Structure formats: structure tokens, C-alpha cells
Chain A
């Protein structure tokens, strides 16, 4: 929207810091509040378990932050999770792939699905929203067709280490998430690639005239989005021990809510990985806190929906006041 709001000048870092500080304060308050209400909440076991549960959403939220910073969106992530999970189970069970190869295959399918999104978005100039709504239907449909709605189970024991094991007392996949958070954060903040994303999001035409390879950057981030969804699928299958074609349904809501709650502008041009991480943690704690106070799972998606709309409203009214 505004060119000034995203230029790496003096105003932005200050504002971003404020936004994240605000979020962090709310987060601490929420932690204390939930802890006071329920003594099972603030225990190491519970918190580590929540970390395990939020990893799949978190893995996808990292590239989604990139995508939304460029002013795009990817609604097909949940469907890619389903497709990759099915491909993992199908190639292992039906093709007889050894499991490591099946895992690589599932990741490749996820990456390819994301690449197709990025390719059509940049070459044919289909708006990302429409492209990923179409592939949301297509990828979920392929998952359904290939699997014929049959589930796959009975994976070898070692495979469950990723989704259920721990290392030094920390869930394995949480360690994976932390490593990727650091990489994504550094890539966004400290590399040409990362700065290109902000340039595209604040003014795509200007970015093109500045000789930035806009199209290739976009293809890369949508491919990363698919790849992360494939990885999330592998982690998810390992955690729940079964492959089903409806895996990842509705993930797009959680992922986009985490990113937007974390202060990334839905209009593009602004956002940070650290904000996304806080948004992610807040959503998971919200789910957990509500569950512990006896609210059922279906009611929590109401809260996430409200959080998504409210955080966008507040962010955009703050932005308008500044202008």
C-alpha cells in the first residue's frame, strides 16, 4: 500500500518493534492468565507437548510469511499436506518404495505442487488467491482419487521417532522447527532474497524496475510453501501413525491466522518471522487454554476466526492512523 511504510528507513523497525512488543506483552499476560486458571497449563510437560502439536502449522507458517509479505497468499497448503501424506503412504505401500525414498517422494510432490502454483501465478498472471483456491480443490481431489479414501498404517517403528520421539527432552520436530525458524528469520532479514520480498510487497513495479527478479523470487517462495507443506505432512504422519486423505484440512486458516496475528500485513510489504512465531505460539496456547477450560475443539476455530478478523482490523486501522 504505502511505499514509505515498508522502506527500510527509520520508521519501520521502530514500528515493528512496537507491534511485536505489544504481542509479546499480550502473550505473557495470556500465559499468566491461563496458568492462574488451570494448574495443568504452566507445566513443562504441557508446554513441550504444545510445541509438538504446533510444529506442522509452524513449518508452513514460515514460507507463508514470505508469501504474504509479497502481497500474495497460498490457500492450497492444507491440500498439499493431504496430497503429500497420501503420496508418502501410497508410494511406500503400493509402489513398495523403501520408506526414506517415500519420504523424499512426498517432499518432492509437495515442492512440485508449490512450484506449479508459483509457475502459473507468474507466467499466466493468475491472481494467487484464485490460483490457490483452484489448486486447493485440485490437490485435495488428487489425494482423494489416488488414495480412494483408504488410509495407510503400519509404518516401521523408526519412522515414529520424528513425530513422537524427543532429543534431550525436547520433541524432535520442535527442534526441527526451531532450526528452520532461525534460517527463515536470517534469510528474511539479512539476505538479498529477503529484502526482495519486501520490495515486491510494497511496490512490485518499482521492484521490477530495480532489476529484481520478481518472477523467480515468487516461484521460489511458492515452491518453498509446497515443500514446507510436504515436510509438515511427513511430521504429521509420523506423529499420528496413519495416512489419511483428509489430513491438513483447514490448515490454511490456522497458518494465515498465525502469520496475520504476528503482524504481517495482508496487503504485503511488512512482516517478520519473529512476529509469526509469536502469532503461532499465541494460537496454540489459545487452543490449549480453551481445551483445558473445557471448551471443545470446534469452538476454538470460532476464536481463531475472530482473532484473524480482529487482528487484521486493528493492524489496518493502526496503519491508516499513521498515514
Chain B
């Protein structure tokens, strides 16, 4: 793509001001500020039930955004994840209804997610086909395949034990627990492990990464495999919340996941970003969607707000990078 990348491989300096000016802190402030503002207009927004619904209903988007962040940081993109989650949910539900042990119904979609994504990663890395072409093709294969295999039938009568999302872990609802644990583990791994740093190196400058002993191809396959893993986990949270699984893909899901990753501060030029920001952004987007209802704005405007948000973040990111780059030159 175009020039510029200023790979910021070193850990950010830990000044207090810098901490507060980070994308993550801004997002956290936005999440809280928006809640208070909407609460003034309509106090019912702050009801525990509503806030819990926002978190529970959108935890799977945050989980999928973790993998998407890694893919974008490595300098790639994936638009097949929405269709993949739809397929995996159907696989999981069908297994459960067919009488497979619950554990199998939970594990198979995760394994399948890893395999599908790793295959795409291999085509991107070793056959050097742009990720957009591979994942656009895969999206239509998954989407079309799902509808033509199931005929659009709904899966009902899911067994009692299947609903993982209804369980609690130490008093915390499972979707939220999984979201927090997955985000924390992924954030630590990306920050402190060699293979985690390799993702930033590959996205910042693949050639430089190669010279530093990182294998960019293997890193890309790993990133896609992990993305598939998180898509599988996201599917579990999503599918086990439903009483009826529709054999279609949730429309526009890939865009929501990409928006969460980008708004969370993952630079679309690769090399920069954190998964904590992506999770916070996923929560913010869900909060905005819910807030519209409470301040009496038609929910039909949600998508354009989401589009505007992603556009504004992308432009701000690029302008900020350019400013930083020119400051670097002066010194």
C-alpha cells in the first residue's frame, strides 16, 4: 500500500499523561461519558438490566474483534468472519441437536474456525494473493454454502446443557467472563511474547521483520489461525445465547467487527494497535446502538453512525501518524 509506516515497535512510554491520551483511555472515557449523557436524557438507560444486556449481547463481537485486530495489525484484512460465524453457529447447533456430546458441539466449531482461517492465511502468505480477494471469495463461498446446504431452516429444540452463555463463572455471566479473559490473555501475549511482537513487526515492515529473524509468512498463517480460534469462541458465546439458530449469517457482522478493531485504535496501515482498545470499541458501538433507542432516534440510523465512526477514526489515525512522522523529522 502507500508509504508512511512509522513502526512503533518499542513499548509506549509510560508517562501518566501519555497513558491518558491513549486510544484505550479515550474509549473508556467515551463509554462512561456516553452512558452518563444518555442517562440524563433517559434514566432508564442506566438500569442494570439494560447495561447487562448491552454487554451480554455484544460480548461475541468484542471477542471476534480480538482476532480481527491481530489480522489488521499484521497488515491484512478479513471480511469473511461474519459468514464464518454464521456457518460455525449452524454447525454447533446441528451437532447439539443431533445428540452429540455438548463438549463436541462446543469444540468442533472452534477447530473448524481455526482450519478455515489458517487455510486462508496460507493462501495469503504463501501464494501471495491479497487478503481482500481471498476473504471476499471465502465470504461468498461460506454464505452461499450455508444457505444452500441448510435451505434456510432454523435449528430449534437445542438441548438444555448446550447453553454455555447462560452459565456463570464466579458470579460473572459467561459471555462477559470469556470476553474479559480472552482480551486480557491476548493483550498480554501480544505485548510480551516474541510471537506476539512478531505480528507488529510483520505489519510494520515485513522486510525488516524478515531481516530480524521473524518469518512473516508463518506469522501471517499464525495470525489467521488465531483469528479463526477467536471467531470460534465468539461463535460459542453467540450461538449458545440463542434459543433458535437461524441458518443465515448475521448481516453486516464483518463490518461491525472491523469497525470495532479500527475504532479501537488498530491502525489500518498495520503495525500498531491493541486488543484492549478493540474490546472497548466493541462495547462503545453496542452502547451507541442501544442509546439511539433511548433518546428516540430511529435505529435505522445506526449503520450510518457506525460508518461515520470508522471513517472519522481512520482519517484521524492517518493525520496523527503523519504529524508524528513530521515531528520525528524535525528532531
Which residue from chain B places its CB closest to the CB of A303 in the assembled complex? B144
Which residues in chain A, 262-286, are within 8 Å of chain B measured between CB atoms? 266-267
Q: Mark B310-326, 1 if CB is under 8 A from A, else 0.
A: 11001100110010000
Which residues in chain A, 142-157, are within 8 Å of chain B measured between CB atoms? 142, 144-145, 147-149
Bound together, the chains give a CA A133 to CA B82 distance in angstroms of: 14
With a 10 A CB-CB cut-off, give which of A73, A149, A296, A312 has the most chain B CB atoms: A312
User: What's the minimum C-beta distance from B320 to chain A, rounded to whole angstroms?
Assistant: 11
Say yes or no: A145 contacts B314, CB within 8 Å.
no
Q: Does A308 lie at the interface of the complex (its beta carbon under 8 Å from any beta carbon of B)?
A: yes
Known contacts A302-B141, A305-B139: A141-B303 contact under CB 8 Å: yes
Q: Does A66 lie at the interface of the complex (its beta carbon under 8 Å from any beta carbon of B)?
A: no
Which of these, A124, A135, A250, A316, contacts B319 with CB under 8 Å?
A124
Selected interface stretch from B124-132, B157-165, B226-234: B124-132
Q: Mark A301-323, 1 if CB is under 8 A from B, else 0.
A: 11011101100110011000000
User: What's the minimum C-beta distance from A49 to chain B, rounded to whole angstroms?
Assistant: 23
Say yes or no: B144 contacts A299, CB within 8 Å.
yes
Which of these, A73, A142, A296, A305, contacts B138 with CB under 8 Å?
A305
Say yes or no: B144 contacts A312, CB within 8 Å.
no
Which residue from chain B places its CB closest to the CB of A139 in the assembled complex? B307
Known contacts A253-B140, A305-B138: A140-B129 contact under CB 8 Å: no
Which of these, A129, A142, A252, A302, contacts B77 with CB under 8 Å?
A129
Bound together, the chains give a CA A253 to CA B140 distance in angstroms of: 8
- Chain B contact residues: over half helix, strand or loop, or mixed? helix
CB neighbours (8 Å) of A135 from chain B are: 307, 311
CB neighbours (8 Å) of A131 from chain B are: 311, 314
Say yes or no: B134 contacts A309, CB within 8 Å.
yes
Q: Mark A64-82, 1 if CB is under 8 A from B, else 0.
A: 0000000001010000000
Which residue from chain A places its CB closest to the CB of B140 in the assembled complex? A305
Which residue from chain A places its CB closest to the CB of B248 in the assembled complex? A298
CB neighbours (8 Å) of B319 from chain A are: 124
Which residue from chain A places its CB closest to the CB of B147 in the assembled complex? A298
CB neighbours (8 Å) of B268 from chain A are: 126-127, 130
Bound together, the chains give a CA A144 to CA B269 distance in angstroms of: 30
Known contacts A127-B269, A133-B258: A141-B140 contact under CB 8 Å: no
User: What's the minimum C-beta distance from A224 to chain B, rounded to whole angstroms?
Assistant: 21
Say yes or no: B133 contacts A309, CB within 8 Å.
yes
CB neighbours (8 Å) of A317 from chain B are: 127
Which of these, A129, A133, A145, A305, contacts B300 with CB under 8 Å?
A145
Q: Does A237 lie at the interface of the complex (its beta carbon under 8 Å from any beta carbon of B)?
A: no
Q: Does B2 lie at the interface of the complex (its beta carbon under 8 Å from any beta carbon of A)?
A: yes
Bound together, the chains give a CA A267 to CA B132 distance in angstroms of: 12
Q: Mark B90-133, 1 if CB is under 8 A from A, else 0.
A: 00000000000000000000000000000000010001111011
Say yes or no: B298 contacts A308, CB within 8 Å.
no
CB neighbours (8 Å) of B77 from chain A are: 129-130, 133
Say yes or no: A144 contacts B140, CB within 8 Å.
no
Chain B interface residue count, CB cutoff 8 Å, equals 48
Bound together, the chains give a CA A136 to CA B79 distance in angstroms of: 12
Q: Does A176 lie at the interface of the complex (its beta carbon under 8 Å from any beta carbon of B)?
A: no
CB neighbours (8 Å) of A302 from chain B are: 140-141, 144-145, 148
CB neighbours (8 Å) of B310 from chain A are: 133-134, 137-138
Bound together, the chains give a CA A215 to CA B126 distance in angstroms of: 33
CB neighbours (8 Å) of A148 from chain B are: 298, 300
Which residue from chain B places its CB closest to the CB of A320 in the assembled complex? B128
User: What's the minimum C-beta distance from A132 to chain B, rounded to whole angstroms?
Assistant: 10
Which of these, B132, B255, B318, contacts A129 with CB under 8 Å?
B132
Q: Does A300 lie at the interface of the complex (its beta carbon under 8 Å from any beta carbon of B)?
A: yes
CB neighbours (8 Å) of A309 from chain B are: 123, 129, 133-134, 137-138
Bound together, the chains give a CA A134 to CA B79 distance in angstroms of: 12
Which residue from chain A places its CB closest to the CB of B311 in the assembled complex? A134
Which residue from chain B places its CB closest to the CB of A130 in the assembled complex? B268
Which residue from chain B places its CB closest to the CB of A145 in the assembled complex? B301
Say yes or no: B140 contacts A304, CB within 8 Å.
yes
Say yes or no: A312 contacts B133, CB within 8 Å.
yes
18 A-B pairs whose Cβ atoms sit less than 8 Å apart in the complex: A126-B318, A136-B255, A136-B307, A137-B306, A138-B311, A145-B300, A250-B140, A253-B136, A253-B140, A298-B144, A300-B144, A302-B140, A302-B148, A305-B138, A309-B123, A313-B129, A316-B128, A316-B129
13 other contacts beyond A125-B322, A134-B307, A144-B303, with CB at 8 A cut-off?
A73-B132, A135-B311, A138-B311, A139-B307, A140-B252, A145-B301, A253-B136, A253-B140, A260-B133, A298-B143, A298-B147, A299-B144, A308-B137
B residues whose Cβ falls under 8 Å from a Cβ of A:
1-2, 4, 77, 79, 123, 127-130, 132-134, 136-141, 143-145, 147-148, 252, 255, 258-259, 262, 268-269, 298, 300-308, 310-311, 314-315, 318-319, 322
What 5 pairs across the A-B complex have the smallest Cβ distances? A138-B307, A141-B304, A141-B303, A305-B140, A137-B307
A residues whose Cβ falls under 8 Å from a Cβ of B:
73, 75, 120, 124-127, 129-131, 133-142, 144-145, 147-149, 250, 252-253, 256, 260, 266-267, 296, 298-302, 304-306, 308-309, 312-313, 316-317
